[in-house]
């Protein structure tokens, strides 16, 4: 064994010893022996394997086990499962080997954590199927998802060693699915870190800027916290309240998110600071009462902002979170958020349901968790649900708050905030939802898309003649309702697709043609559809008539002699064969400018309008056409999360051949001549073509948008810098997406 290997082995042993020493739940020697057995089993299985960073692979399972133990608070079986979580997927060991050595429960958890292997059809997403499989096990044992979150957290902490395009993909998947999942399970510390790390790798420059600004303000922040906290501490001590008080800035992601939502600069966010008061409860007084007593003491010192009180002690969040939040006016005219929690509430807030079990009374149930898992089971019971649709529906329901409504007989039903009468109908029964035509809310007739409020009493009106329509999907927000509607629609669509397929094949046969990817490449855009099935469906329902089929197929098609001439030139060495944007040696898709439309095998996404110089990724569809998105585009994040196997790294060719349409937003003071100055700088000084200009003034200011053509981001940034120099212009920025 070399000196390096000896050093590595010593470090691995040190980390494992640290895991054992800090194991809160290792109460017996038998527990420690089982964990040690799992460690040796995993070490042997991963022998010789290394991570992208170069370190021995076993370091990762140990780190995941530490997170599971120390940061989530799970027990011995979970630690063993964390140590073994990659063994079946990455080595020759099987689930049966795990069961023989560690029992059926650990084997079941490992099975839930092991990705699906095998062949799926082109329409399927391996990521979505893997996620659904994991949830199948989750509905029986929540530890599966908790260990998966620990695994994802360590991967995000060590993402530096991966190439940029993989960082973007994993960070996008994390913010799309795993951070919301941590939120739903009440794991606030993990959720916050996942959000921050995702931001760090998706937008590194923005992340560094916010970190620097928070660091620059650190001394002022500490002084403000001390000045703010001292009077509160005195008051709490005088009232015999045992407490801990801490102050910290909002997370980097929450600061960025607020800047995006409110379209403000860092300096304009008023509640950057949050003070947390965690008190030791007095067992003779309800915790809720103690929270409000502390609130009363604080507002004796500092005036509250009435619209910023959040009472989650009277009605806890769906994930079990309890606290009283208030925003008060502190020293120097600064708004400061105060969070008031008992010690029990604080542990649940940081560790979620894992901590909730610790405080559970004998015989009590985890009502909120059980309700959530029940909804997952209902969704999983529907075998026709497409994995991608399932992923979207599941994501949609992760962040929802809840309302309480009543049946005509007074039975209470819990629904997500924003739920409609149609959601309520499906909550009662799928048959009632499918036949619903209207509702009575508190005895008043309303439409099915009527949004419910807490306390409403709802009666559903049905008709046997009613058929499920596609627009009902816009009326529903719950997983259960959407899933039932999609199932009913699919049954009808399947029939239409079969009819349409038959009609198209017959028509092509008349032209002595067979269906092929080349033919569909022309038909899909011509009939403005996104897929073959959509085309079949529209043909089957009579929305698409195939009278112009021959004309469409002839369009942009070279004649035989032209094709022959091209071929002859290639053979004789007079010219080179055309390639449609071949990938480079590293598998990166290269966007070549200047190709004719029929030569292109890429399109620029309308949702984010990328231009040369933007950091971009590509999504390759079933016809090998690549759609180019900005890496920061929300649709790109969604695609990375759902179908990461189709996402490819992309680079631009560096030529100024084409001009790309971009939109900039501009505002400032409406002084005389400012509009003329703006158009002069754009058109005359910088020779940039303007497509449309829409500026309007009111109350002494002007604002609006300008659409113009640029070659790349360098030209755009140069334009913005020149516009910002104009007297009266206050802000200029690119509008990156057009909904």
How far apart (Å, rounded) are the C-alpha atoms in residues 105 and 98?
A: 10
What local confidence, expressed as pLDDT, does residue 300 receive?
A: 94
According to DSSP, residue 457 is labeled B
The residues annotated as belonging to the active site are: 89-90
Contact 105, 140 (CB under 8 A): no
Judge contact between 83 and 42, C-beta under 8 A. Answer: yes
Dist. CA 166–CA 647, nearest whole Å: 10
Region for 203 from its dihedrals, namely left if φ exceeds 0, alpha if ψ lies in -120 to 50, beta otherwise = beta
- What does the pLDDT look like over 655-666, one tens digit per residue? 565 778 889 999
**Whether the Cβ atoms of residue 639 and residue 646 lie closer than 8 Å to each other:** yes
Can you point out the beta strands (E) in 170-323?
243-249, 273-279, 310-311
What is the per-residue pLDDT across 458-488, written as a single tens digit (0 to 9) for each?
A: 999 998 888 888 889 889 988 788 888 888 8
Three-state DSSP class for 335? strand
| Alpha carbon distance 333, 270 (integer Å) | 10
Q: How far apart are CA 448 and CA 475, in angstroms?
A: 7
pLDDT of residue 570: 39
Would you state the pLDDT for residue 578?
40
Q: What is the rounded distance in angstroms from the CA atom of residue 632 to the CA atom of residue 616?
A: 8
Residue 591 confidence (pLDDT): 76
pLDDT of residue 82: 94
Measured CA to CA in angstroms, residue 460 lies from 116, 410, 428, 637, 645 at distances of 42, 14, 9, 39, 44
Residues of the chain with pLDDT under 50: 117-124, 359-366, 383-384, 399, 557-580, 583-586, 738-739
Distance from C-alpha of 562 to C-alpha of 725, rounded to nearest angstrom: 54
Nearest to 134 by CA among 105, 158, 111: 111
- Rounded distance between C-alpha atoms, residue 297 and residue 280, angstroms: 16
DSSP-assigned letters across all residues of 298-309: HHTTS-B-GGG-
CA torsion sign for 314, 315, 316, 317 is negative
How many CB atoms sit inside 10 A of residue 696's CB?
9
> What kind of architecture, by CATH, is found in domain 209-359?
2-Layer Sandwich (3.30)
Dihedral over Cα of 327, 332, 333, 334: its sign: negative
Identical fold at 12-202 and 209-359? Answer: no
Rounded to 10°, the helix 218-238/204-216 angle is 60
**Would you state the pLDDT for residue 138?**
56
**Rounded Cα–Cα distance for residues 721 and 733 (Å):** 10
- Which secondary-structure segment (H or E) carries 537? helix 532-540
Q: Which residues pair with residue 402 across a beta bridge?
A: 416
Read off the pTM.
Answer: 0.63
641 by Cβ neighbours in 10 Å (0-12 / 13-18 / 19+) ranks as buried
Q: Alpha-carbon distance 620 to 702, whole Å?
A: 42
Using alpha carbons, select from 594, 651, 636 the residue that is nearest to residue 737.
Answer: 636
Domain 12-202 sits in CATH 1.10.3210.10? yes
With beta carbons less than 8 A apart as the criterion, state whether 713 and 612 touch.
yes
- Per DSSP (E only), the strands in 266-358 are 273-279, 310-311, 324-329, 335-342
613/617 Cα distance (integer angstroms): 12
Nearest to 722 by CA among 673, 691, 667, 678: 678
- Check if the beta carbon of residue 329 is closer than 8 Å to that of residue 335: yes
Helices 126-138 and 634-642: crossing angle in degrees, nearest 10, is 70
DSSP H or E stretch at residue 194: helix 188-202
User: Quick check: helix, strand or coil at residue 420?
Assistant: strand
Alpha carbon 82 to chain centroid distance?
24
Q: Are 504 and 536 in contact (CB under 8 A)?
A: yes
The correct answer on CATH 3.30.70.260 for the domain covering 660-735 is: yes
> Could you write out the DSSP letters of every residue in 41-99?
HHHHHTTT-B-TTSSBTTHHHHHHHHIIIIII---HHHHHHHHHTTHHHHSS--HHHHH
Strand partners, 338: 275, 326
- The neighbouring-strand residues paired with 274 are 248, 337
Q: What single-letter DSSP state applies at residue 702?
A: E
CA angle 25, 26, 31 (to 5 degrees): 130
Q: Where are the domains of the chain?
A: 12-202, 209-359, 660-735
User: How many other β-carbons are positioned within 10 Å of the β-carbon of residue 212?
Assistant: 11
The CA distance from 403 to 424, in Å, is 11
Kind and range of the H or E element at 668?
Answer: strand 660-669
Q: What is the DSSP string of 570-628?
A: HHHTSSPPP-SS-B-TTSPEEE-SS--TTT--EEE-TTT---TTS-EEEEE-TTSPEEE
């Amino acid at each position: 064994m070399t000196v390096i290997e000896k050093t590595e082995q010593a470090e691995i042993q040190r980390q494992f010893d640290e895991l054992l020493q800090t194991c809160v739940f290792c109460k017996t020697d038998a527990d420690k022996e089982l964990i040690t057995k799992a460690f040796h089993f995993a070490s042997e299985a991963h022998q010789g394997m290394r991570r992208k960073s170069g370190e021995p692979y076993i370091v990762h399972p140990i780190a995941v086990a530490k997170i599971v133990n120390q940061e989530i608070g799970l027990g011995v079986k979970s630690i063993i499962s964390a140590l073994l979580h990659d063994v079946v997927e990455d080595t020759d060991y099987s689930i049966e080997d795990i069961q023989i050595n560690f029992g059926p429960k650990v084997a079941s958890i490992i099975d839930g954590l092991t990705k699906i292997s095998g062949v799926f059809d082109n329409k399927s997403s391996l990521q979505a199927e893997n996620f659904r499989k994991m949830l199948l096990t989750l509905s029986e044992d929540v530890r599966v998802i908790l260990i998966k979150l620990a695994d994802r957290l360590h991967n995000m902490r060590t993402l530096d060693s991966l190439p940029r395009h993989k960082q973007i993909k994993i960070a996008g998947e994390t913010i799309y699915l795993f951070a919301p999942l941590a939120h739903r399970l009440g794991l606030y510390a993990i959720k916050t870190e996942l959000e921050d790390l995702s931001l760090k790798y998706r937008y590194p420059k923005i992340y560094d800027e916010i970190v620097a600004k928070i660091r620059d303000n650190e001394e002022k922040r500490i002084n403000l916290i001390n000045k703010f906290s001292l009077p509160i501490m005195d008051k709490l001590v005088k009232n015999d309240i045992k407490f801990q008080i801490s102050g910290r800035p909002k997370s980097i992601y929450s600061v960025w998110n607020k800047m995006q939502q409110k379209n403000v600069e860092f300096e304009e966010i008023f509640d950057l600071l949050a003070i947390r008061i965690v008190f030791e409860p007095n067992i003779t007084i309800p915790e809720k009462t103690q929270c409000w007593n502390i609130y009363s003491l604080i507002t004796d010192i500092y005036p509250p902002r009435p619209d910023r009180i959040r009472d989650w002690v009277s009605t806890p969040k769906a994930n079990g979170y309890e606290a009283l939040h208030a925003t008060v006016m502190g020293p120097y005219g600064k708004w400061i958020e105060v969070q008031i929690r008992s010690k029990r509430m604080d542990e649940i807030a940081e560790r979620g349901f894992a901590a909730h079990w610790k405080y559970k009374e004998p015989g009590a149930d985890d009502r909120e968790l059980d309700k959530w898992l029940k909804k997952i089971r209902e969704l999983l019971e529907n075998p026709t649900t497409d994995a991608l649709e399932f992923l979207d529906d599941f994501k949609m329901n992760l962040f929802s708050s809840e309302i309480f409504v009543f049946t005509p007989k007074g039975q209470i039903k819990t629904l997500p905030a924003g739920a409609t009468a149609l959601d309520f109908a499906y909550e009662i029964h799928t048959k009632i939802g499918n036949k619903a035509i209207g509702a009575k809310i508190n005895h008043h007739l309303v439409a099915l898309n009527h949004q419910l409020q807490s306390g409403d009493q709802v009666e559903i009106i049905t008709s046997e003649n009613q058929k499920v329509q596609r627009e009902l999907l816009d009326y529903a927000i719950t997983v259960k309702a959407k899933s039932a509607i999609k199932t009913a629609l699919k049954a009808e669509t399947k029939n239409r697709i079969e009819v349409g397929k038959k009609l198209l094949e017959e028509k092509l046969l008349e032209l002595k043609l067979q269906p092929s990817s080349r033919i569909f490449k022309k038909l899909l855009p011509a009939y403005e559809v996104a897929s073959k099935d959509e085309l079949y469906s529209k043909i089957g329902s009579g929305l698409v008539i195939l009278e112009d089929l021959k004309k469409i197929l002839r369009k942009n098609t070279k004649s035989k002699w032209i094709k022959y001439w091209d071929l002859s030139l290639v053979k004789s060495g007079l010219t080179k064969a055309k390639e449609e944007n071949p990938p480079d040696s590293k598998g990166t898709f290269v966007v070549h400018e200047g190709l004719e439309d029929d030569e292109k095998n890429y399109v620029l996404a309308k949702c984010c309008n990328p231009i040369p110089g933007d950091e971009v990724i590509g999504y390759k569809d079933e016809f090998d056409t690549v759609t180019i998105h900005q890496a920061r585009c929300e649709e790109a994040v969604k695609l990375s999360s759902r179908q990461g196997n189709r996402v490819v790294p992309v680079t631009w060719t560096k030529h100024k051949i084409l001009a790309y349409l971009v939109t900039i937003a501009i505002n400032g003071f409406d002084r005389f001549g400012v509009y003329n100055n703006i158009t002069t700088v754009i058109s005359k000084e910088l020779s940039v073509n303007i497509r449309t200009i829409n500026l309007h003034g009111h109350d002494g200011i002007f604002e609006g948008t300008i659409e113009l053509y640029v070659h790349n981001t360098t030209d755009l940034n140069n334009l913005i810098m020149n516009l910002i120099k104009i007297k009266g212009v206050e802000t200029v920025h690119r509008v990156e997406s057009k909904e």
